[in-house]
Chain A
Amino acid sequence: MQPEGVTRIVVDDSRAGPVCGPAGARPGASCGPGMDLPPELPEHRPSGGERRARFITISDREIRPLYGPEDVAGLDAEEDLGLPGEYPYTRGVYPTMYRGRLWTMRQFAGFGTAEQSNARYKYLLNHGQTGLSVAFDFPTLLGLDSDNPRSEGEVGRLGVAVDTLADMELLFDGIPLDKVSTSMTINAPAAVVWAMYIAVAEKQGVPSEALTGTIQNDILKEYTAQKTFIFPPTPSMRLITDTFAFGAERVPQWNTISISGYHIREAGSTAVQELAFTLADGFEYVRAGKAAGLDVDAFAPRLSFFFNSHSDFFEEIAKYRAARRIWARGMKERYGAKDPRSWMLRFHTQTAGVSLTAQQPENNIARTAYQALAAVLGGTQSLHTNSMDEAMALPGEKAVKIALRTQQVLAEETGVTNTIDPLAGSYFVEHLTDQMEKEALAYFDRIEALGGVVPAIEKGFFQREIADAAYRYQRQVQSGELSVVGVNRFVEKDRARIELMKVSPEVEGRQLARLAEVKAKRDAGAVRDVLTEVRATARGRGNLMPVFLRAVKAYASLGEIVDVLREEFGTYREPAIF
């Protein structure tokens, strides 16, 4: 019953035979310290011969051996590149870039209860981190309280559990919200969680006008990649434009959305798909804001972006440069933005979680460092570097410190911050930037032909494109066409053991006890009244943010508020495409 060519059955890697070189190439050979040399040493290639039939990026882009002046013949330095801080911002959004201010070092963190996560934030701030980034658990991301039966076993597991304002008060206890900027990865229920943050700041005596930070609030990529959606697209877009309008008026320094390619890439897309789908989403939010009656320059300066930094170095750098140029041109020429801040694509970067390997986990430190360098050479505004243990668990303290130190070494020692956009003018990088821009524009045409972003989601277009790319990549790793050190190259028999962080099962009990206590103490009548108000506003057309603020201050829970919205808006069920 076995397919041809498969003779070995291996359940887990630790029992795989020792292999040196491409997977399966020399079964029985061993390598590594204290072992025999592999039977064949690599041959020296005669001149003209090449090691591979095709040289490709991890996105299956074929790369030529040499690029020259003819590859940038169409490039107009003034029109296509400009100066840093000037349209079309290919070279960076600020005139001084890292000479003026380094990127924000912002490690995504959150687990267990609010107290545990608060301790981790203080640990990171004490080690030189410059901004916070909150990871919520799955129940919170899906608008479920910890006491919902569906939350069982998931409370505090992959992020921090937040049910009510009481949790947010503990989460930011002792952290001055007028001095620290906070990014929150929350999407479908983002408006409610943002209301909690604003309420906590108010209790600290910090007015909303002084707050800086970001809510991810990017629902479109949830349908295509991250998959923590709740409501259908139309009411979801309304929640988002409500935050745009409220932010413009009351929280003017806040990024009301972080339009994210990160998850699209993690789900398996190519670099160009990440670029194209993210920017297509971005322009869709601009259209939605305008359709809601907002002036484009009132909200567009607060749109921010979030990209992945994967392992193919130059392709990533070109992606960031192309992204800035496409956004600037689109906003100015197509969407009529007049404020230069509306043209600027500012972005956060996270190194590629999906590139981390469980095999030889210390290698992940090197991978992450190269990816971080690509993000910085691409002009990122803030950066998260993954920890070496994240293929297996949430990061432990030591691992996260090494990841932060990796950024600090990059910023303080390598000198790459001394000059702006140092790769500009490189035949290869400029050619690649231009190619990726063209390919992204071609995707825009295809999306438009399907009727726009939302119809394309409903037809499964993005999901299928991403699944195709993910499968092709896996097959290329399988065949050895793409190398992953420790997985299909330089495999070691023994697994390196590193200490992994575990979230204690008692967390759930503690969280349930706190929620019960909050529910017992609050004014039940006030909660009932404000939930009725949430329902009435949801049925009408008014901005939901003010009523969310009143609801969270009455200690209505996230689940209670979202349940009302579920009843009014309905829920979304995805087409299961593979």
Chain B
Amino acid sequence: MDSPPASRLPSILDAHADDILSEWIARLRSGGADDRISEVERERQASGFLQRMIEAIRASGVADIEGPAFEPLREMLSDISRSRAMQGFSPTESALFVFSLKQPLFHRLGLAWGKDAEGLARDVWAVTLLIDALGLRMMEAWQKTREEVIIRQQQEIAELSTPVVKLWQGILALPLIGTLDSSRTQVVMENLLESIVQHEADIAIIDITGVPTVDTLVAQHLLKTVAAARLMGADCIISGIRPQIAQTMVHLGVELNVISKANLSDAFALALRRIGRAVVRTKSPVPVMGTAHGE
């Protein structure tokens, strides 16, 4: 029995690289102009991609996509995918870049094999496997990039949303926004304690108006923060417990055992009283005007 005839893919690629490239670019272009990526850039990516693919296939055939010959191609694919993910392309749009190479390749294979169905089928299958593997790799890189973006944003949110505000000499406020998990509690706690030392604060008001839910775990985190502040010699007041949250807390049996006030202003008034100060009215209120100066 004869061994199967050799794949005609490498010779096709050598002979018709330019035709395949122009057909591919035409297909990419038929998807319509896109202002996220320039025509020139897209063509540059396509020709670079095809170039590396031809080199890799010439070196090691189509089967071994994980091998060293495909290294430059894989790298380029990851780069393209990463930039697409950053530019806001959807997964489908990113993957189509690779998958739209199939048609020009199949077309050339069809011309080369003519009526030899068996050879054609074998080569089509080989190309399908190759392009599918590359497409999947593209998706993987896209996904990874998006995950990196999400993780970075999470870190930024964690840092941004835990400011400690000085309200008065010796009174700090900590407006919490977002869900409290253990890693955020850690950041919040450290921020608060450092600020207590820095401002020599007696009282810290933890305002939870921006905390969407308080379950037993969140309550435990709050209590930890309060206990740590107390160890440093500062008292805590919790404020801004919304009606639904108060109900949930009671129904869950969560007890805070800390002074709590309905809103920040009540808590501030109490804090002022604690440090022996009061807000008094000095005279009739001065109307606030845009540019006029008081007489």
A binds B: no
